[in-house]
Structure 1
Amino acid sequence: MKLLSIASAIALSFAFAAAPVMAHDDGKKDHKHEEQERPDHYKGKPSENLVQALNNLREYNKLLNAELQGELTPQKMAEIHQLTYTLERALERIDHEVDEMKEVLEEVHLGSERMELDKVKKNGAKYLDSSNKLVEAGRAYK
């Protein structure tokens, strides 16, 4: 059993060594692990807007689900490691977009209290445009 564990660790090392490596430097240090300890990593697929982030989330969740089926081999672990970068970027974008939606909705709320008709109309439309993308993505997922 111990020999199998050692062989798995060696195979996993080779899987990561054989995979293409790109530096991960998007200026953010919000990962739970320090970048200094892990200098070379994949960038992942970009999520430059909400729709792209939702599409990446849908696509890469399917890939992750496929990798999780059956026994987890060193090769599967390497694939999972690589695809998590795209998932992390997608979730970061979605989080950013939802934060913006909250701010815009707060403007709708405050504008409705103050009877600021134009502001409510403009911000209400902006909020609905963004939030409906989430709603539609949820429907497509079913």
Structure 2
Amino acid sequence: MTFKRPLMMLPLLAALACSVQAEDRLEHYQGKPADTLEQAVANFTEGNRELRKLLEGEVTSADLARVHELSYTLENALGKMNKEMKVLAVLLEQVHLASETAKTETVQGSGRAYFEIAETLQLGEGEQ
């Protein structure tokens, strides 16, 4: 019976440790911001280009430090891109459902909004 209380505290302590780690990490590097999808795609493309070069051949300790720093920019870019991909999926579903029920205005309106995002994502494609 005396072991129940300490064992019950383990999940709480683990959660606290994770939150402290996350707070420390936020102050470590910021990375380039990804406030817009265009900025995210540009940072993602540029970051991947640099990461690919860093990983070619032997990786030095200086390369590791740069990879670590660069990962924050890539994480920011992916976070923004993931949010936009969720919006893109919703818009495509609207187009899909509206096409089944012959709602032309919805197909056109949601279709235009869909392509505003899709075309931005496609711009980064050829730049790699």
TM-score, with normalisation over the residues of structure 2?
0.76
Higher share in helix = 2
- Distance in 2 (CA, whole Å) between partners of 1:109 and 1:125 is 13
What is the distance in 2 between the residues matched to 1:35 and 1:81?
Answer: 20
User: What code does the residue aligned with 1:106 have?
Assistant: E
- Give the whole-Å Cα distance in 1 for the aligned partners of 2:89 and 2:102: 20
Indicate the SS of the match to 1:140. Answer: coil
Q: C-alpha distance in 1, partners of 2:42/2:72? A: 15
Shift of 1:47: 0.8
Please list every run of 5 or more consecutive structure 2 residues that lacks an aligned counterpart in the other structure: 1-16
Q: CA RMSD in A?
A: 1.8
**C-alpha contact (below 8 Å) 2:31/2:69 kept by paired residues:** yes
Query: Among 93, 100, 122, which residue is 1:113 paired with?
Result: 100
2:82 is the counterpart of 1:98:
no
Matched-pair contact (CA < 8 Å) for 2:45–2:127: no
Residue identity in the other structure for 1:83: L
Q: How many pairs align? A: 109
Q: Does 1:86 align with 2:73?
A: yes
| Range with greater deviation from structure 2 (67-76 or 85-94) | 67-76
1:63 to 36, 50, 56: 50
Structure 1 CA distance for aligned equivalents of residues 18 and 56 of structure 2: 30
Deviation at 1:35, TM superposition (A): 4.5
Corresponding residue of 1:37: 21
